[in-house]
Amino acid sequence: MAQIVVDVTRCVGAAQCVLSAPDLFDQDDDGFVMLLEERPSGELEKSAGVAATLCPSQAITVQET
């Protein structure tokens, strides 16, 4: 199982996370990342990894627990 960690202070609002994993991420009213599920499993875990890779500001980290 993985744990997603988001550093909102690094987020630039590019929304790549939302586009690649809408079940895990959203954007607040200011356009910054909001984490919807901290501990995904299965296909959502894979989507979290893709989102972390696509994030231009490297604001998303996926840690194995």
Write the pLDDT tens digit of every residue in 1-37: 899 999 999 999 999 999 999 999 999 999 999 999 9
- Stretch 45-51: mean pLDDT: 97
CATH value at residue 27: 3.30.70.20
Q: Do 31 and 40 touch, CB atoms closer than 8 A?
A: no
If one counts the domains in the chain, the total is 1
Instruction: Please provide residue 58's backbone torsions phi and psi, each rounded to the nearest 5 degrees.
Output: 55, 45
48: confidence class by pLDDT, cuts 50, 70, 90: very high
Structural domain boundaries, residue 38: 2-64
pLDDT at 65: 84
Element (H, E) at 2: strand 2-6
Q: How far is CA 15 from CA 1, 11, 24, 42, 65, in A?
A: 24, 9, 12, 22, 26
- Return the number of other C-beta atoms located less than 10 Å from residue 12's C-beta: 13
pTM, two decimals, is: 0.93
What was the pLDDT predicted at 1? Answer: 85
Q: At residue 44, does pLDDT exceed 90?
A: yes
